[in-house]
Amino acid sequence: MPKRFAAVPHQYQLANGLQLAGWRLGTPSDVSPTLALHGWLDNANSFLPLARALPELDWLSLDFAGHGHSSHRAGAYHFVDYVSDLYELCRQQQWQALTLVGHSMGAMVACAFAAAFPELVRRVVLIDAMGLMTAEATDVAAQLRQGILSRLHSAQKQMPRYADVIQAAQARQKQSDFDINTALLLAERGTVEVNDGVTWRSDVKLREVSAIRYTPEHAHLLLAQIQCPVLAIIATDGLPLTQQAVQRYANDFQKLTLVNLPGGHHLHLTNTTVVADVIQRFFREN
């Protein structure tokens, strides 16, 4: 396999003690890689098919903290910490003029990062996500209660065990919109061997409910600060929450290109060629 089609493992040590893992693939660039940010409970391999379809880019696909091969946090997982980790990594590596490609939760992180650090971002691609996960200000007490109770519950939970990676992939497929080969792609990076088989590498605390969320007003104000061009690729058969978010937030962006494509929530895995063509066209213009 040509070198630019082979994913090369990378690890980055942050000052806060976390180690972020990922892989690079494509045409090397010293200062402006394409950072691929996966969705909740996925991992860096979520972007392998898309990276292979666009090898002219310098892809760096990261595992968020608590996912894949990256470190687990000592405490709870807060959305803002994903943004902070990304900024620390960019400052450490002296990256600039970044292209951010995010799916689901990763798209929300990309939005927040581009709003807070516009000087570092050249363009953003959102895949079946827009805006942020929010809660009404009037729900603040209920959100706090639910978040704390879920922490107590997760402390008593354990990750499920499977006989092998194939069984883990089959379980993952039942909860998703892709085939078994795609499920295996995620399971191969997302599982670890244990005495009685395999289990997921992801931190059980990731399933905890957020104790604090931005309000819709916060989200509107944040998105309005994104200065770079943004491409939003929305699945026609994706999550209803995404469709609602498009209606709510699309007008907040200064420079938005909105494209609807056939497929489900993971359309970058199930409709890769078409998604790649749309991204390539957007990049030629931006």
Domain CATH for 21: 3.40.50.1820
Rounded mean pLDDT of 42-54?
97
Q: Please tell me the least confidently modeled range out of 52-66, 165-179, 260-274.
A: 165-179
* Residue 191 in domain: no
The model's confidence at residue 177, banded by pLDDT at 50, 70 and 90, is: confident
CA-atom Rg of the chain in angstroms = 18
* Residue 32 in domain: yes
Distance (Å, whole) CA 245 – CA 249:
6
- pLDDT for residue 3 is more than 70: no
Pair of tokens at residue 124: 């953003």
The model's confidence at residue 1, banded by pLDDT at 50, 70 and 90, is: very low
Higher-confidence residue of 5 and 36: namely: 36
**Which tens digit of pLDDT belongs to each residue from 181-208?**
999 999 999 999 998 899 999 999 999 9
* Residue 150 in domain: no
Q: Which of 97, 104, 99, 72 is nearest to 85 (CA)?
A: 72
The answer to whether 110 and 247 are in contact (CB under 8 A) is no
The model's confidence at residue 4, banded by pLDDT at 50, 70 and 90, is: low
- pLDDT for residue 109 is more than 50: yes
Instruction: Indicate the DSSP class of residue 284.
Output: H
Pairing of β 230-235 and β 191-194? unpaired
- Domains contained in the chain, number: 1
Q: Provide the whole-model pTM.
A: 0.95
The answer to whether 100 and 87 are in contact (CB under 8 A) is no
- What is the span of the domain harbouring residue 231? 3-134+214-285
Rounded mean pLDDT of 27-43?
91
* Residue 266 in domain: yes
* Residue 206 in domain: no
Pairing of β 161-162 and β 197-200? antiparallel
- pLDDT for residue 36 is more than 80: yes
Percent of the chain residues past pLDDT 70, beyond the cut: 98
